[in-house]
Every structure is written in C-alpha cells, then in structure tokens.
Structure 1
Amino acid sequence: MALITLIAGRCTVKFSVRVIGSRYRSTERELDSRKHLDDEQFPVLNFKQVRSQRVARRKIIRPEVPPPRTQQMATDQDWGAVWPGPKSFNPSVVPLPLRQGYVSKKHQTPPGKFANAELMKIPNFLHLTPPVIKRQCEALKQFCTPWPKGLETEEKMKKHFPLDFITSDYCHALPTIRNPLSRIVTIQLKLESLKLDKHARDKFLRLVGDRHNADTDVLTLVTDRCPLKKQNYDYAMYLLTALFHESNVVESWEETKSEADMEYYDFQRNRSKVSSESILNWGKAEGDVRLNAPLSYASSVEQLFNDGENEYNLSKYKEQTLSLLDLAK
C-alpha cells in the first residue's frame, strides 16, 4: 500500500493505491542479486546431514575375473612353453597343490599357494624339468666337441687329471646371493701322482701333517682365508706348488745326517743292512760275487721299527728272517 497526497489550491486529498507489480519486480531483483552474491562466495559447509543433501554413490562396475589358468591346463601340455625360464612363483599357473609357511597351531596345515608370500620369496627351479633339460641339451650339442679319446673310464681320467677341485654353491633367501660358505675351496689328489722320490715324499708328508690320509694316499687341502672362491682356489694351488718344490729341495745339512739324526728307520743307512749282508756273504772270498739283502727283508725291518711291534709285523719279520738264513721249512 502507498499513501498519495494531492494538493490543489486549498484542498488537500489523500488516498491510497495498492502497488503490486512493482513489489514483485523488486523482489525478483533482490533474489537475482542474492543468487549472484552466493555464486561469487564459497559454498556453505553444513555439518548436519540432511537427506536432501546426500549424493548418490556411483556404482562401480567390476570386471568378471576368469578362473585360474590351472583349471584349463591339459595334462599333456608343453610345460616349457608355460614356464620357459626362472621367474617368481605364480599360483594361477603352477598346477601343483603347494603349501609353505609357519602355523602357530600344531594340527593346522600350512598356507596354500594363493596369496602366499613365502612361495614368492625363494627362487624356484620349476623351469628345469627333465623334458626341458633334455631339449636344452639337444640344442647345445651342436656347440659341443667330441669326448676326448683316452678318457673313457674313471681310472684313465684320474691318471690324466689327478687333481679334484671341490666347491659348494648355495641357494637361499637373503638380501645377498653370496653365501659365506661358498668361498671354501677343497683340492684333493693322490700323493703318488706327484712322482716324488723317497726323500721328497718323506719331507712332503712332514710338511702337510695330518692332511694326508695314509690309508688312501689322498692329500686334502682346504682354503677359506680369502673372501672370494677364486682367491681361495689360487691360494690352494700356490700351497700345492710350494709344497712340491720345497719337498724336492735338499739342504746342505741333510747330507751330513747320521743314523742317530734320522726321524725314521732307514734300512739302507742302518747297521742291519751291513749285518744281514755279512751273513749272506759268510765264507766268500773277496773276488766272489757279493749278495745284497733282499728288499722283502729290508721292508719287514723298516715296518717293524717305524710302525711298532704288533702281531702282523712280528710274524712278517720272523718269516723274512728265516728266509734270509735259509731256515724256512
């Protein structure tokens, strides 16, 4: 409502007029201005959850997961095509009911192959099946040379290659693939393959000590001082070379050794040799042929003194003595 006053001369007239259209127009302008201000300002954060303010969740379309590949594998498939080389364990490809892991309960079975981190930690050799190995060997034959002649048997190979080189490789689950035990190197050979004389053999045995097995005549050298396997192998070969050359060295003082200085009983440098030969040559003239003590008698005497008295050595010495005196029945 609006009050309008008209003044005409001395009369004053007052009347009211209902204004409708202008009011509506002003209301629309106010709403438009408020909407414009609301658009320029930040939206109001309403902590009160109102049903009208909830936003409908977007429906996630999940793709259909096919069944494991193991359920579709044929029993006569080519495993070399499925698992051609070394790789991490894949449970959906390996058609084996593998289990690995630790369980706290006593009668509980270990975890299966699906979602099993223990099977993925360790390296596997699933690619090295017998058919695949045979196929790879057939492919490598074209690069191989014929087997050398003269090495058909184990005895012939030992004769030409007397040295055995022994090492160990380890496969384990650690941050490093180098195992401390893999650096150890062992070399073995028979002492007779070195072709040592009596002096050199005796000196060699004294240098190596208990590393020589008297029953099998095998010398064993173990080296583990260096951090790498190649270094220990070179050190072992150096030790063997140094022992061989040192045992063949004859010092000047060794020529002056007497019977009392000997570490072992030597029949050729002992009075037993002179006594036995004097008995054999009893009553012969100076021009006659002189007889030497037989090697069997010398060996029995040396064995008796060096190895000690036992039933076998005493019986052998008795037998050779009677044969020497020609008293054997």
Structure 2
Amino acid sequence: MVFKASSGIAILHNCKYLFALPPPVRQASHAVGQEVDTDEFRVLDLKLKKKTQTVRRTQRKLTALSPRSEKMHVDQHWPSVWPGPRTFHPATVPLPLHQGYPHKKKSTPGKFANTELMKIPNFLHLTPPAIKQQCEALKKFCTDWPKGLETDEQQESHRPIEVSTSTYCHSSPSIRDPLSRIVTVKKVEPWESEKLREDMEVYLWEGSESEQNFSNLLQWKGKNDKENPKSNISKEDKENYKIAVESLFNSGEDAVTINKYKEATKNLVCLVLK
C-alpha cells in the first residue's frame, strides 16, 4: 500500500493534535535587524493593580488655645468657674502659683505641668463669695433661733442634745472622708427616763437580764474554782455571746440567729465547765 507524500504530512499533522503536543514556541531573536514576536501562554493575574495616583492629605496644624484664665474678666463670678472640690487645673486658676523644689538654682516651678499642685487638696471652692452664696441658698430652709437659748447653759437645760462627730486623718491626696459627714444627734428629755425596757425599739445588752445572768455565771464559777480563780472566759467570748443574744432579739428567730446563739451558748458552757 503506497501513500502519497501529501497524505503522510496530513496524518502527521493530525497526530500532533491527537497526542496534545504543546504548540511551538517562537522565540524572539535579538539579532541585529531581525525581530520575532514571542507566542507564549498568558499569565492569569488575579490581583489587578490599578495605576491610580494617591492624593496625600495635608495635615492641618492645630493652634493651641490660650488658657481660660487669660480670657477671664476682673469681675468673673468665681463660684461658677470652680463650684465644687476638684483637682487643681492651671489653665483655670488666674493666679501665678508656684510650688516645688527649685532645680539647679532655678526658680520654683510654676503652675503648668506641676504635679505638686495636683497632689495636694485645695479650697478654691470655699472662697468668701462662694460661702456667702451657699448660706443665702440655705436660709430658706432654716427657721429663726428660739428665744431663751442664747447661752450654752440655757441650751443644756432646755434642749439636752448630744452631738457626736468623727474626724479622720489619713495620708491620701484628699482630706475628705465620707464617714466624717455622719453626725449623730442624741436628745434625752425627762420623760425618756420613764421609758421601760419593753418599750425600747431595739434590744440592748447593757443592763439587760442576759447581762446579769452572765455576770452571775462568772461569779459562780469563781467561787467553785478555788484552784484557778481566774476565769477562762475572754472578752472575745463575751462579745460573741452578746452579739448572738442581740441579733436573736432584734433580727428575730431564724436558722441563722438560732445557730449563732446555739454555738455561742455551747462555747460558753464548755468554758464554764472546763
């Protein structure tokens, strides 16, 4: 069987595509006077970079505002500027204050960036105009002072009032303590001495039958214990028993108060019989 030359070339050409041969790559020749284009596969670029010009933002230069103290008038209402206790602020106080240790023969540090002025408490809210304004606002809640109570002797005879206050001194940036604002006022009048123990609002250990029974128990133990007359009951044991009795009467009988009274009584009995 004879094939023509042209038929053989066609068969070879079809076999090339049958076996998936890669297409021929035409290389570029850089010879002088000769230029051949390359025919290669295109690369898939998933990150398309757009050639855009970025416009940079111009930064604005912020001018620092002048302190508030420089804008105040001479007749400035100071209680409106400093109405209550607060930390020292140099831009608000129109005073040339200085505090601190001078460094290397320099002057005392000024009020700006001065931590010494910020650490200590100040009384800039208690100026005479501020105190006067607060007193005027409280006048509408006050009544006239009763006549015949001008002296301390008259006050004690007609109005026996006992005022209890507390003062606290501790090391901190503030001298104010919320507990120092608690004021207890006790007023004892003649008719209050006629008040019976059953009429009391709360049960008090002092002068009660429980305290008397406790004292009798200690005396009985001292008489019977001749070898060791010193009592084994400490002040802490007595205080625990006192608290247990008061909570039982004042808070009522429940599981907590009954168990507390039970443990305190058992401890007391064990110490007595020891």
Query: TM-score scaled to structure 1, two decimals?
Result: 0.35
Greater C-alpha Rg: 1
Query: TM-score scaled to structure 2, two decimals?
Result: 0.41
| Structure with more of its chain in strand, by fraction | 1
